[in-house]
Amino acid sequence: MAATTARVLDRLAGGLPAPALRTTPASWAGRLRDIAPFCAAGEPLALVTPHTTDEVALVLAVADAERIPVVCQGALTGAAGAANAIDGCILLSFEKMNRILEIDPLEQIAVVQPGTVNATLSAAVAEYGLFYPPDPGSWETSTIGGNVATNAGGMCCVKYGVTSDYVRALEFVVPGGQILRTGRRTIKGVAGYDLTHLLTGSEGTLAAITEITVSLLAERDVALAAVGMFESTRAAAEAVAAIKATGRRPSMLELLDAPSIEIISSFRDVGLPNSGSVLLVRSDRGVHAADDMAVFEAAFRSAGAEEVYAASDPQEAEMLLETRRLLGPAIAAQGSPLSDDVCVPVGALATLVDGVAEIGRRHGVRAICPGHAGDGNLHPAIFYDADNTDRAFSAFEEVMDLGLSLGGTITGEHGVGLLKKSFLRRELSAPMLDLHRNVKAAFDPHGILNPGKVFD
């Protein structure tokens, strides 16, 4: 093993610029894991920070020949352990491949390297009057490569969809070092299998993505927002259904259950009620936004809203939506919970939220269930400490089963990674899992890319 290690490091050092190869534990401190608890992280053989696709190709050629595992990493904002280090692996961090290579206003596309931060891309295309819709909660720090790896979503998905809806083409490297491209710059294209979307959401198990072509939209119009306060989650869920029935599509429809409101209020007093549930709705249709908001407010009241507060201008609307954005830092201030992202049919929202609360009570742990009400993707979180980790994970397991029983999925946008791989067989049949493994083997016959992730 020592001889293999020395040979691998020599081969990497012979083809990489010196700053790109790091071989000491101090050099990868802080890069061993993402934010997911309950997920192991190993000790790598090396950390490589390439600047070019050719350097990535060298790494995958050496790793495949020597049967060394490779773990691709972005900003480590993931919540499922998919980017955690494995013992003896090469960590392939794309932090230095962070350039925006092209913005084409005519074709409404951008070409970026995987280390480009979501917020950086959004700001750059805004200068051309364009808009990149996917907005995960970590958008100010997460990278486009990481967003593609997990098919990230966000708060505006209810209207604009998820990352895969905006990925047109990819450059990628497969084990052995071959550089390939899939997809195209054009809006349409059905030549061959859709490998672009196969790779999107593959969590680093099929290839190392080195360049991403994304589609853009015209800049959003002026937005308005409103907050509805409800006595119960059931009433809030009825309001979601009422908004859906209007035929108008909000650009955001977010739910805060009572425990989430309590956490936000303890972090900062923003005038939320002490109990019940809150819905935040937004329309970004410019001159039509005020009309939309009148319809949405009526839907809130028809569902029994105790109070509705509407923003009078876009600036006030942003202040209202800041309430939802406070949830992330408010949770972080209380520790790192066991986070979930169950997605269920919208009609099952109330059953999910009430079920999560009951599961938490039964296991003696604090549980919250906020999230993206407009598309049924909620984010249950179980808080725990050293003396109740077993109870927390048991509660987490029951939340998974509840989501599946309601016709949902174990993950809407966070991915499977390490955290949920034992649950994947509950959602997919054995023949389907075999088919997935066959696809994996076609891309990665020696199993060097992110081994042990996604599949048991």
With the CA atoms of 109, 113, 119 and 123 taken in that order, what torsion angle do they form, in degrees rounded to the nearest 10? -50
Q: What is the domain range of residue 345?
A: 335-427
- Measure the CA angle with vertex 168, ends 82 and 215; round to 5°: 105
Q: 311 and 258, same structural domain? A: yes
Q: At what angle do helices 389-405 and 349-363 cross, to 10 degrees?
A: 160
DSSP 3-state of 50: coil
The CB-based long-range contact list for 186-193 (8 Å cut-off, 24+ gap) reads: 187/215
CATH number at residue 54: 3.30.43.10
Q: 214 and 108, same structural domain? A: yes
**Burial 17-44, CB ≥16 within 10 A → b, else e:** eeebbbeeeeebeebbbbbbbebebbeb
Is residue 3's pLDDT more than 70?
Answer: no
Q: 105 and 80, same structural domain? A: no
| pLDDT, average across residues 151-172 | 95
pLDDT (0 to 100) of residue 404? 97
CB-based burial label for 243 (10 Å; 0-12, 13-18, 19+): buried
Q: 204 and 162, same structural domain? A: yes
Count up the domains in the chain and report the number.
4
Is residue 219's pLDDT more than 80?
Answer: yes
Q: 380 and 360, same structural domain? A: yes
Q: 115 and 65, same structural domain? A: no
| pLDDT, average across residues 210-235 | 94
Q: For 297, list phi and psi in degrees, rounded to 5.
A: -60, -40
Q: For 400, list phi and psi in degrees, rounded to 5.
A: -55, -50
Which of 159, 191, 218 lies at the terminal end of a domain, its last residue?
218
How large is the C-alpha radius of gyration of the chain?
23
Helix ranges (H only) for 200-313 are 233-245, 258-267, 289-302
pLDDT (0 to 100) of residue 1? 61
Establish if 346 belongs to a structural domain. yes
Q: For 374, list phi and psi in degrees, rounded to 5.
A: -65, -25
CB-based burial label for 355 (10 Å; 0-12, 13-18, 19+): buried
Tens digit of each residue's pLDDT (9 = 90 or more) over 244-273: 999 999 999 999 999 999 999 999 988 888
Sequence letter at residue 184: R
Q: 36 and 85, same structural domain? A: yes
Establish if 455 belongs to a structural domain. no
CATH number at residue 390: 3.30.70.2740
Establish if 371 belongs to a structural domain. yes
Q: 195 and 300, same structural domain? A: no
Which of 168, 189, 218 lies at the terminal end of a domain, its last residue?
218
Q: What is the pTM of this model?
A: 0.94
Q: 235 and 168, same structural domain? A: no
CB atoms within 10 A of CB 410: 23
- Rounded to whole angstroms, how far apart are CA atoms 272 and 274? 7
- Rounded to whole angstroms, how far apart are CA atoms 155 and 310? 19
- Rounded to whole angstroms, how far apart are CA atoms 371 and 155? 8
Tens digit of each residue's pLDDT (9 = 90 or more) over 72-105: 999 999 999 999 999 999 999 999 999 999 999 9
CATH number at residue 265: 3.30.70.2190
* pLDDT band with cut points at 50, 70 and 90 for residue 287: very high
Structure tokens, 192: 């061959």
Tens digit of each residue's pLDDT (9 = 90 or more) over 320-374: 888 888 998 999 888 878 988 999 999 999 999 999 999 999 999 999 999 999 9
CATH number at residue 198: 3.30.465.10
Q: 395 and 323, same structural domain? A: no
Q: 151 and 76, same structural domain? A: no
Residues facing 378 on adjacent strands: 371
Q: 343 and 320, same structural domain? A: no
Which of 299, 329, 359 lies at the terminal end of a domain, its last residue?
329
